[in-house]
Structure 1
Amino acid sequence: MPPLRTPQLHFENAVGRLLEHPDGYAVFAYKPGKRRLADLQALLTRTRTLLERQQWHRMLGDQRLMAPFTAEESAWIVDYWLDAAYQRPGGLYGAVVLAHDVFARLSMDQVMHEARASALTYRLFENEENAAAWLRQLA
């Protein structure tokens, strides 16, 4: 049996962890609790940088422990982060593992509704295994 291919930690802060998956995609997993906008910006900016440096077009966002986005966070994600995805040749594919918190799910829905023009193609999943399987199909 081949050894398990485990993701390598790339960056971590109070908001979450960013991992490099050996199958060629970024994984970011939110930590529970309130966030500072600067910490969220740092995590997502590092994610963008990793995707660009590796020339990857796939990511897995693990939102299971995530608290709802604030209005300020939502605005920054739509105006800056997803706008950058729109400018990427070929766009970006995201597998999102849904948050346990219903309000966090609603805030995610609102962000994606506001970002309709984004080049982010995403699917929502209840577990990481199915999300990763979808990303592998896109390789």
Structure 2
Amino acid sequence: MSPSTIYFQSAAGLVLEHTLDRYAELRYLPSKRQPGELATLLTQLGRLLLARGWHKFLSDNRQMTPYSADEKQWFTSQWLPGLVPRPNPLTGVVILPEQVVARLSFLEMSMKAGGGSLRYRTFHELDEALAYLVATE
């Protein structure tokens, strides 16, 4: 893993930049997210990617808690259709949550991502996800 710098931090997670490999990382923290924190994290992720001219990100969801109903609504109405400013196209690799309920919550949302300019690929292991991400152009 390349060295990283914290771009944004909150109780819900971190947005990190990996300048050597030219990708951003979203790392969820295990705390329950407060209303609006998911939107803030993903908005900051989009801003970092646009500022650096990158189109790849790693989402480390291992510690993620399940999405709330409001987060699911925001994710499908704002993030997936690209209403939140971000590069187009965008490639993401996701390390699945360890918590089963959170994993099911994420997989439910990711099934709605098909067909757009946002491409996700899921992994169980960090090494596999990074190898795929770094090799992707």
Q: TM-score, normalised by structure 2?
A: 0.90
What per-residue deviation string (whole Å, max 9, x for no partner) do you get for residues 74-125 of structure 1? 1111111121179866511111001001111111111122333432111111
Asked if 1:9 is matched to 2:10, the reply is no
Aligned pairs (5 A) from 1:98-117: 98-117=96-115
Question: Any stretches of 5+ residues in structure 2 without a counterpart?
Answer: none
Match of 1:73 in 2: 71
The 1:84/1:20 distance shift into structure 2, 3 A limit, reads same
Aligned pairs (5 A) from 1:17-32: 17-22=14-19, 23-32=21-30
Letter in 2 for 1:80: Q
Secondary structure in 1 matching 2:26: strand
Letter in 2 for 1:103: V
Residues 26 and 58 in structure 1, CA contact (< 8 A), matched pair in contact too: yes
Q: How many residues align?
A: 136
Secondary structure in 1 matching 2:102: helix
- The CA RMSD over aligned residues, in Å, is 2.0
The 1:85/1:121 distance shift into structure 2, 3 A limit, reads farther
Identity of aligned residues (%): 37
Residues 54 and 87 in structure 2, CA contact (< 8 A), matched pair in contact too: no
Residues 43 and 85 in structure 2, CA contact (< 8 A), matched pair in contact too: no
Query: Within 1, Cα distance between the matches of 2:86 and 2:37?
Result: 24
Query: Within 2, Cα distance between the matches of 1:28 and 1:90?
Result: 18
Match of 1:44 among 25, 42, 45: 42
Query: Within 2, Cα distance between the matches of 1:106 and 1:49?
Result: 28
Q: TM-score, normalised by structure 1?
A: 0.89
What per-residue deviation string (whole Å, max 9, x for no partner) do you get for residues 46-68 of structure 1? 00111111111100000000011
